[in-house]
Amino acid sequence: MNTTAKEPVWIPVSTVSEFPEDGGVCAKVYGEQIAIFHFSSRNEWFACENKCPHTGDMVLSRGMIGDSQGEPKVACPMHKKSFSLKTGACMSGEEYSIKTYPVHIEDGTVYIGIESPGTQG
């Protein structure tokens, strides 16, 4: 079994100036809705799937962001379940989780690291 992690394909999404400070935006990449968050107060960026695993609503990009004991999180605006933006784990006690993606900023452009459609397994 090959357990070597694949390098992500870096997809340019938009410029840094298009993102609200301490808020989120949704982008469609390879047919997937991805929520991207700019924690300007922490000078950090995070990305996750936009779909709330609780009900399947595409709303996480509109969720409230914050932290819990230093762990960055997003709360679903519909159901208030919170998810770690580092691990994707539900922080509200349930067994739900979300997929997270690496984010890279270069020359004022926001890039999302994903597996290309041909390498997803």
Per the structure, the count of domains in the chain is 1
Q: What is the domain range of residue 109?
A: 18-113
Residue 9 lies in a domain: no
pLDDT band at 42 (very low <50, low <70, confident <90, very high): confident
Q: 56: which 2 tokens?
A: 């399947």
| Residue 90 · residue 82 · CB < 8 Å | yes
Residue 4 lies in a domain: no
Over the stretch 50-105, which tens digit does the pLDDT of each residue have?
A: 999 988 999 999 999 999 999 999 999 998 899 999 999 999 888 999 999 999 99
Over the stretch 10-21, which tens digit does the pLDDT of each residue have?
A: 999 999 999 999
User: Residue 95: which residues within 8 A CB-CB, separation 6 or more?
Assistant: none
Residue 44: CATH number of its domain: 2.102.10.10
For the whole model, what pTM was predicted? Answer: 0.88
Residue 99 lies in a domain: yes
Residue 119 lies in a domain: no
